[in-house]
Structure 1
Amino acid sequence: MSEIFFDEADDATEIVKALQAEGYATGLRREAFAGEDDAEDHAWVLTVTPFDGRVVEMVDVYGGWLPGDERLPVAATPLPDAPRRLKSTGGLDTI
C-alpha cells in the first residue's frame, strides 16, 4: 500500500473510480500538512493496494503526486550563495 496526494477532490475521485474499475483496493482521506490552517487547503490522500507501475501511470494522468517523487520540477529560482549585506562595510555597500 502506498499513498498518492492530490490537491483537487475531483482528480482524486476520478482516479478512485478508475482504479476500482480495474480491481484495485483504494481509500481516500484528507490530510493536513504543517502550517495549513484552512481545511480547504488539506491534500486528498489516496491509498492503493497493490501499488504497481499501472498506478504510477495513472497518477501522472490524473495530476497526483507521490512523496519523494524525483520527477517533480525543481525550483526555477536560484537560491543566493551568500547572505545579503544591509549595513555599510566601510566602502561600497553590497546588496
Structure 2
Amino acid sequence: MSAIYFDTDDDAAEIVKALQSEGYSTELRRESFAGEDDSEDRAWLLLVDPFDERVIEMVDVYGGWMPGDERLPDRPADLPDSPLR
C-alpha cells in the first residue's frame, strides 16, 4: 500500500468512494507530522492497494498529495488581495 495525504476529510472521502467503486482496497486515518500539537490540523492519510497509475491520476483530481511529489498544481492557490480584518 502507498500513502496519499489530504488536508480535508471531504476530499479524502470522495476519493475513497471512487477507488472502492473501482475495486481498490483503502484505509483512511488521521496522521500527524513531527512537531504538530493541534489534533484538528492533522492530515488525512489514505492507504491504497494496489497503487498504480490510475490512483495517481485520481490523486490529482481529488486534491491529494504524496510525499516527494514534485509536480506542481495546475494553478497557484487563490490568496486574498488584502489582509483580513
**TM superposition score category, shorter chain reference:** 0.7 to 0.9
For residues 39-69 of structure 1, the C-alpha deviation after alignment (integer angstroms, 9 at most, x for no partner) is 1110000000000000000000000001101
Corresponding residue for residue 46 of structure 2: 46
Q: Distance in 2 between matches of 1:47 and 1:20?
A: 12
Q: Which has the higher contact order (CA 8 A, sep 6+)?
A: 2
4+ residue runs over 3 A deviation: none
Unaligned runs of 5+ in 1: 74-95
Identity %: 77
Alignment TM-score, normalising by the size of structure 2: 0.82
Q: Give structure 2 stretches of 5+ with no counterpart.
A: 74-85
Residues paired across the two proteins, number:
73
Structure of higher CA gyration radius: 1
Query: Aligned-residue CA RMSD in angstroms?
Result: 1.0
- Alignment TM-score, normalising by the size of structure 1: 0.74
